[in-house]
Structure 1
Amino acid sequence: MVFRPAHLSDIPGMSAVRLAVTENVLRDPALITPADYADYLAQRGRGWVAEAEESGRIVGFAVVDLQQHSVWALFVHPDFDQQGIGRKLHHLMLAWYFAHTPEPVWLSTDPGTRAEEFYRRQGWQATGRTGSGEVRFELSQTAWQQRLAADSHAR
């Protein structure tokens, strides 16, 4: 698996992953356009992709928004689930984010999903619900650094 910064040319592959997920399903695919991906990648923040070495296929991606201090996306194609891809993308994204700002970062996800449990295991703190009923999480730079220290001691 190759992990690298996302490029504008990766948008079709990223979109394919987003539309393939079985949790946190995008109910109306027209709501997120290629222009949205481009804005987040080139203007608002940064993104990373996981690319299968053999095929060059994008199998996961993460995007963080430095302007709104939020995670815009973290998705792994269901065919590549449970291989550590999401965790590696999560790490790359947060390392970059906290190298650029000390501001806490937030995200939201559907309750009762594996994504919710993933974020809890990664040290994110639930802060309530969004208007649409998603669980809202925050992660401070201090909590991120503590998580990194705990991970390095566990090895």
Structure 2
Amino acid sequence: MKIREAQLEDIPQIQIVRNSVKENTLSDPNLVKDKDCEEFLFERGKGWVCEIDHQIVGFCIVDLKENNIWALFLHPDFEQRGIGTQLHDKMLNWYFEQTQENVWLGTSPNTRAENFYRKSGWKKIGIHGKGEVKFEMTYNEWKNKQV
């Protein structure tokens, strides 16, 4: 298993992972275009992938412009192995090296993702979009969690 920065050529496999999930699915897979991934990876922020046997099985992307976690997804066949936590931690460590601004994310309620974020120290701050739970992480909360 290898976690590394996402590259342009990873986008097709990132899209496969994104569209394989059972929770937080896209109503229309065409809503997130390859160009969107490229913009978030290389203009707005940064992303990482988890690769096993040359196959991307998970990825995450953080958006510095909106101080938002744009994506953190795992292929369902690779859940419950600690990959999500490793991607999450790598992303937040990098994010808080760039800025001390709070970071937020939205996720569907009553999902494993909601549980994951609560256990990872995120604080619920409201509702976002179409009924998603909105979470926030502060610089100090993250740094204190790392000690």
- Which TM-score band (shorter chain)? over 0.9
Percent identity over the alignment is 50
CA distance in 2, matches of 1:140, 1:58: 29
The answer on whether the counterparts of 1:49 and 1:60 sit within 8 Å (CA) in structure 2 is: yes
SS of the equivalent of 2:65 reads coil
Structure 2 residue aligned with 1:99: 97
Structure 1 residue aligned with 2:88: 90
List runs of 5+ in structure 1 lacking aligned partners: 150-155
Task: Give the RMSD, CA atoms, in angstroms.
Answer: 0.6
Normalised by the length of structure 2, the TM-score is: 0.99
Structure 2 residue aligned with 1:129: 127
- The one-letter amino acid paired with 1:91 is D
CA distance in 1, matches of 2:48, 2:8: 11
Structure 1 residue aligned with 2:22: 22
- The one-letter amino acid paired with 2:29 is P
Q: 1:59-109, CA deviations, whole angstroms, 9 ceiling, x for partnerless residues?
A: 000000001000000001000000000000000100000000000000000
- The one-letter amino acid paired with 2:115 is E
The answer on whether the counterparts of 1:62 and 1:89 sit within 8 Å (CA) in structure 2 is: yes
CA distance in 2, matches of 1:77, 1:147: 27
Select the structure that is richer in strand. Answer: 2
SS of the equivalent of 2:22 reads coil
Counterpart selection for 1:117 from 106, 115, 127:
115
- The one-letter amino acid paired with 1:101 is T
CA distance in 2, matches of 1:108, 1:20: 19
Q: Which 4+ runs in 1 deviate beyond 6 A?
A: none
Q: Give the CA deviation at 1:46.
A: 0.1
Q: Give the CA deviation at 1:146.
A: 1.4
Q: Give the CA deviation at 1:131.
A: 3.4
List runs of 5+ in structure 2 lacking aligned partners: none
Number of residues of Structure 1 aligned to a counterpart in Structure 2: 147
